[in-house]
Structure 1
Amino acid sequence: MGDRIEAARWGGKLAQEGPPLQQERARQTRRSILRVAAEEFAANGFRSTSLMSVARRAQITKGAIYHHFSSKENLAASVVEEHYALWPALVEETRAEGRSAMATVVTLLDRVAEVFRDDPLVQASARLQLERSVIEVPLPTPFVGWTALLTELFEAARAEGGLRPECRPEVLARVVVAAFFGVQHISDALHQRADIVERWQEVKETLLPGICAPGTAAALTTCR
């Protein structure tokens, strides 16, 4: 597939597109709406967030929101899509640094943990995915992009000799995705993700000795 990660892997474009954004002011307004909406959704959830509250915080009219987004549902879907749009650049940047495949997995997920801790857009998307049953538009399917990417990286790690031969890349990818996103969900529920980096470090220290080629796990637990 090469190093470029296709947008379709992360869910594609599902929300209704807004008008053509030919002016920088319009682009800035749309970005502002998405950022404020993300903060509102992350803090209050879908049901308790109103377009009026988003408009007040963004210092625009409710009509200005409707110029870019047809409904609260469409705005929520767009927030989720903006979240998924973050990952391809981060993946490509990390892969371009020339680490081994196993070190790339570890470094990438370390950085993703920090994004979950710090970025309201990502936090909002995670909450909206949990509330998808009450959002009456499709949202990008979670987890499948990460599972496909990690399968690819673990296959490369096996070819490099960095993975224990008994490990199956596709199974390992599912396990690591479940572990990582389980950690982020529990960290959110208990501590608003303040401890996600530390909890992810514990998972790495537990998992890596069982999957890495002998003698390589210790260096990877502190890989950056």
Structure 2
Amino acid sequence: MNGKQSTRTLPAGQELKQERAIQTRAQVLTAAAELLSAKGYRNTSMQDVADRVGMTKGAVYFHFRSKEALAVAVVQHHYGQWPNVAENIRASGLGPLDTVEELLNRAATAFQKDPVMQAGARLQLERPLIDTELPQPYVDWTTLLTQLFAEAESAGELRPGVSPEAAARTVVGAFFGMQHISDTLTHRADLHGRWGETRDILFHSLRAGRSAEHA
């Protein structure tokens, strides 16, 4: 090792091949999520996924070595996308507390429309059926919101006396509990209405100055 980083680029043909592989993997992930969300883990096979995406089963196994690996990838994507979404929201100029609110607004929309979000939530409920360890639920969300609430506290946006950690745990519990109830009762048809009610009560309690204004 000479300490120099390689600047060698891939041939154009190899770059194109890698890009196609990335796109194909994403297509397989989405197809699997649609099936897992609708049918559940036990009733979804790798052949089902292959049929859905119009590939051979061997081609699906090229991207995911097992159904367990596919389930893990779905759950990882279910949770892993949100830190980048939060950064994009912050880049638009919103403060930390408004960022939390907008982040959860987008998550509510994703739970209604995004099969990966829907499948990730269902797979967490079906953990006993899956012969592998899934990513631990809710922890990354709680960590992310704790950071944002701590920034809100420093900026004077968080109501005095509210712990950022407690706020994060409470909001995560309320949000994910709300979406689960909505899914159970209406298949998430009323999710935005339920989230609107939950959001208004939560953020009314969290924002600095609200208690004094309405005392």
Q: TM-score range, shorter-chain basis?
A: 0.7 to 0.9
| TM-score calculated relative to the size of structure 1 | 0.83
Count of residue pairs the alignment pairs up? 198
1:207 is matched with: 202
Q: Is the deviation greater in 44-53 or in 130-139?
A: 130-139
Is 1:23 aligned with 2:18?
yes
* Higher-RCO chain (CA-CA 8 Å, sequence separation at least 6): 1
Quote the Cα distance in structure 2 between the aligned partners of 1:27 and 1:101. 33
Is 1:162 aligned with 2:157?
yes
- RMSD value, Cα: 1.9
- The one-letter amino acid of 1:137's match is T
2:125 is matched with: 130
- The one-letter amino acid of 1:141's match is Q
Q: Which runs of 4+ in 1 moved over 6 A?
A: none
Quote the Cα distance in structure 2 between the aligned partners of 1:191 and 1:124. 16
Give the deviation of 1:22 after TM superposition: 4.8
Quote the Cα distance in structure 2 between the aligned partners of 1:102 and 1:204. 12
Unaligned 5+ segments in structure 2 are 1-15
2:64 to 69, 81, 103: 69
- The one-letter amino acid of 2:187's match is Q
After superposition, residues 177-216 of structure 1 pair within 5 angstroms as 177-215=172-210
- The one-letter amino acid of 1:43's match is A
Quote the Cα distance in structure 2 between the aligned partners of 1:22 and 1:143. 36
Q: Relative to structure 1, is the Cα distance of residues 52 and 211 closer, same or farther in structure 2, using a 3 angstrom cutoff?
A: same
1:108 is matched with: 103
Unaligned 5+ segments in structure 1 are 1-20, 219-224
Give the deviation of 1:51 after TM superposition: 1.1
Q: Alignment partner of 1:103: what SS?
A: helix
Q: Relative to structure 1, is the Cα distance of residues 166 and 51 closer, same or farther in structure 2, using a 3 angstrom cutoff?
A: same
- Percent pairwise identity: 51
Is 1:91 aligned with 2:77?
no
2:6 is matched with: none
